[in-house]
Amino acid sequence: MKKTLWLGTLSLMSFSSLAVMNGTLLDWTQEDGTVFLDNANEARNNYCTGTLIAGTQVLTAAHCGEETEGVDLIDTVHFANNSQVTVTPANITLNPSYENLGDTSRGQDIALYSLPQQADYYKIRFFKDLRSDVFVLNQAMTISGFGWTPKTLHRADFTQTDLSDCPECTSSPNYQINAKVVNASHTAPGDSGAAWINNNNEIIGVHKGSAPFTSGRRETYGTNLHYASDWLLEQVNNWHYPTLADANGKTTITIQSLHPATERVTDAAWGENITLIAEESTCVSMSTSDTIEPYSKCTYVIESNGSEGKLHLTDNAFISINKPKPVTPPEPPVPEITPPVTGDSGGGSFGLLSIVALLGFGIRRRLTR
């Protein structure tokens, strides 16, 4: 987690590595549960990646949600439909174990951004049951982020390798999962905060950064969410669900409980201009026999004639059915940046202003921000 700058004059820049190389280009509109994070400064001199959860929350890295000297707070959330919202510092919650020590940090490098209103998105990633450890040796996983290419989403492929103890902690839980690249794709500046997705398509971690390519290996590391399980459930205390769904006839919608174990979670859903088929919905049958456990998934079966409606999960959480698509002019494409040819690596928040400095200087750094 240590970082080393070759030139002190660049220490105020938020740049950490080369671009995403040979990653898989993704259609952001088909991955609309992923968000692009930057700051209100039009220069957009640093940015991160985040994941929408529970309708009104963004899961990202803690080092994206803290304001440090010379670096603006990342406070603006951009969605795949070209809309955006600004989040105030009061609505950014860092995990209490996270601590920035300057050249190092310790604890859970994760944060939640609370949105002022429910976001619109179809695609969600469910969490692995974080009550047990998420690490599986040699299991394949992916990271999708905006590293080096703002608002253009790419995926890189990895294999889990090992767990790292927190070197600065008196008691040393395995806060960090390490992974290795399996092809030429790797993370880059701006990927910090992206979800680590295992081969079961489940969230297991949050991306922190990567090390330079040395001895045939590019170390990549993320926060192990197992140790943040209780905190995450207490902070969210809601269903994890897609906020948009289309239906013309009978449709099944899957949701996940992100309620703490202390909460008795039961079905409380109702339909608006749709028919909720209770006898075919496992959320109803599960809550009838017992409470729904944290991280467990269940389904609602609805029927619609294709018109607009809503499936209300609670008074404040709902899934819009057949919501009309907004007509928004597309933003002009952001040109991809050709990386320098020297061989450093990384994967955190990124400062575009650093490009000028890179014309004459090299930089090496393990963890951004």
- CB-based contact 49:34 (threshold 8 Å): yes
- Tokens 């750094």 identify what position? 365
Sequential pLDDT tens for the chain (369 residues): 333 222 222 222 233 333 355 689 999 999 999 999 998 876 656 899 999 999 999 999 999 998 776 667 899 999 999 999 999 999 999 999 998 876 556 789 999 999 999 999 999 999 999 998 888 888 899 999 999 888 999 999 988 887 765 555 445 566 888 888 888 888 888 999 999 999 999 999 999 887 766 556 667 888 999 999 999 999 999 999 999 999 999 999 999 999 999 988 889 999 999 999 999 999 999 987 777 899 999 999 999 999 999 999 999 999 999 999 877 555 666 555 544 333 333 455 555 444 333 333 332 333 444
The residue type found at 181 is V
Distances 41 to 164, 178, 298, 302, 350 between C-alpha atoms, Å: 36, 33, 42, 44, 14
Say what the pTM is: 0.83
Question: Which residue intervals of the chain are DSSP H helices?
Answer: 229-236, 282-289, 354-358
- Tokens 């290419």 identify what position? 149
Instruction: For residues 301 and 177, give the distance between their C-alpha atoms in angstroms, rounded to a whole number.
Output: 37
Tokens for 52, please give them. Answer: 């929408």
Domain boundaries, the chain: 247-321
Instruction: For residues 293 and 309, give the distance between their C-alpha atoms in angstroms, rounded to a whole number.
Output: 28
Return the H-helix or E-strand segment holding 93: strand 92-94
Instruction: For residues 156 and 143, give the distance between their C-alpha atoms in angstroms, rounded to a whole number.
Output: 5
